[in-house]
Amino acid sequence: MRLLTLAWHSLVNRSFAVILTVMTIAFSIGLLVMVDQLRQEVREGFYRSVSGVDLIVGARTAPIQLLLYSVFGVGSATNNIDWETFQELQRQPEVDWAVPMALGDSHQGYRVMGTTRAFFEQFKVGDQEGLVIQYGQPATAVFEDLFEVVIGAQVAKQLGYTLGDEIVLSHGTGRVSLQSHDALPFKVTGVLAPTGTPIDQQLFVSLRAHRALHVGWESGVQRPGAGLDQESARQSADALQPETLTAIFLGLKTRAAVFGLQRRVNEYRVEPLSAIIPGITLQELWRISGVAEQILRVVAALVVLTGLLGMLTVLLTTLNERRREMAILRANGARPHHIAMLLVMEAGLIALAGIVLGVALALMAQWALAPVLLDRLGIYLSLQWPALWQWGVLGGIWVAGLLVALVPASLAYRRTLADGMQVRS
């Protein structure tokens, strides 16, 4: 114990070099932990977002692309699909539920999704949890009126909307949109409970309202006088059949039916479609990003190695300066193995401080990155302690630090023996 106090004081005495060493190790540990934590958390977040969907159907495109634009709002669809296709899919015997989605509008940079009541009743996130409308009418009464909008938790929080507020949607998906659908304002009639998925970042209107918004907008801008006003839109609500959709979420009755239907959709002769199984497509995505992750890991591991070598350098270079100190210790009754232990303990303390600080840095980085990921992908990063196996790796690094210290320790051990016998000035 006395040796440990001594080690501590010795480190404090050389605090500048020690702090630099600790920082080197801390940054390397921080990088190592962060790479893994982020990877874990992002994957978790992606899986949470599509947990209850068996198939996603969209225009024929790359599976990853379809998943990214339909669920995460990354990129956009190359083509839309026909409303009749939706109806045909809905009629398939193995289909339990079908949720259509039409994208293309936004509100203050948040995505607006045209859908049906089925979305609120069937869509599941996280651990097979259904959507909950926290404030406002229940899911069964959603979209009673044409101009109702249900908003995600994050939208409500960020923009300060409550029930009854009137909002205007914008044409297109840019943050700053010059064209707004201001003739047809919507009323907030529901606020969803937070889910930690991209749903929190979206607004939901009925497909019919989505269609009503775009009457007269066929060329991309509104033809003067061609749009509907609220009253005429309401009157013709029944005639407002959607024409195209961006994607369709499907839930099937049995898991075994998923593959058959997927194949049939992919081979559908009438319209070129793609059907994807979200989990398998995510895996495909990880396979691609996995290469980058692996590289980052190797880099992080090398940086850790550099940190430990840095510590070795510091211990070795100070060894000469500390000859007097060692001699005094020896004169006071310290045995050579005490001196060696002292050096190992010092290294242990440095490595420990580096690891603790590194984990703290990783947590801080996660905390700083969370809003960015939330904004870009709608995924919540929760602050997580490193997992058990990560602690194992960190423990291994600490042990490696101790082993590295054996080099100066053995040098000191031999030297103090010699120093003790030779008479030197």
Partner 1 sequence: MLALAATAEAQIERQHGAHVHGEATGFMAVDGQRLQVQLSLPGHNLVGFEHPPRNERQQQAFDQAIAVLNSDDWLRFTPAARCVVTSVTATSQGFGVDDHTDSEHTHDHDHHDHDQSDHDHGGHAQVDVSGQVECARPELLTWAELRLFAAFPNNAQLTVDVLTDQAAFQARLTPNIQRIDWP
The answer to the question of residue 82 lying near partner 1 (CB under 8 A) is no
Binding mask 212-251 for partner 1 (x = CB under 8 A): ----------------------------------------
In angstroms, rounded to a whole number, what is the distance separating the alpha carbons of residues 195 and 167? 23
Pick from 278, 307, 354, 358 the residue near partner 1 by CB under 8 A: 278
Question: Beta partners for 110?
Answer: 107
| Number of residues written out for the chain | 425
The answer to the question of residue 59 lying near partner 1 (CB under 8 A) is no
Q: Residue ranges of the alpha helices (H) in 107-243?
A: 117-122, 153-159, 207-213, 230-235
- Binding segment for partner 1 (CB under 8 A), chosen from 135-143, 271-279, 379-387, 405-413, is 271-279
In angstroms, rounded to a whole number, what is the distance separating the alpha carbons of residues 309 and 85? 63
The answer to the question of residue 266 lying near partner 1 (CB under 8 A) is yes
Of the pair 254, 313, the CB lying nearest partner 1 is at: 254
Of the pair 5, 283, the CB lying nearest partner 1 is at: 283
Pick from 258, 308, 350, 379 the residue near partner 1 by CB under 8 A: 258
The answer to the question of residue 418 lying near partner 1 (CB under 8 A) is no
The answer to the question of residue 392 lying near partner 1 (CB under 8 A) is no
The answer to the question of residue 255 lying near partner 1 (CB under 8 A) is yes
In angstroms, rounded to a whole number, what is the distance separating the alpha carbons of residues 225 and 261? 44
Of the pair 36, 148, the CB lying nearest partner 1 is at: 36
Of the pair 22, 50, the CB lying nearest partner 1 is at: 50
Largest Cα–Cα distance of the chain, in whole Å? 108
Q: Based on the number of CB atoms within 10 Å of its own CB, is 247 exposed (0-12), middle (13-18) or buried (19 or more)?
A: buried
Half-sphere exposure of 148 (CA within 13 A, CB side): 18
Say which amino acid occupies 355: I
The answer to the question of residue 277 lying near partner 1 (CB under 8 A) is yes
Of the pair 271, 325, the CB lying nearest partner 1 is at: 271
Contact 246, 67 (CB under 8 A): no
CA torsion, ordered 415, 418, 419, 424, to nearest 10 deg: -130
Of the pair 97, 120, the CB lying nearest partner 1 is at: 97
Question: Beta partners for 204?
Answer: 113, 150
The answer to the question of residue 264 lying near partner 1 (CB under 8 A) is yes
Cβ neighbours, 10 Å, residue 117: 15
Of the pair 76, 283, the CB lying nearest partner 1 is at: 283
Where along the sequence are the contacts to partner 1 (CB under 8 A)? 254-256, 258-260, 264, 266-267, 269-270, 272, 277-280, 283-284
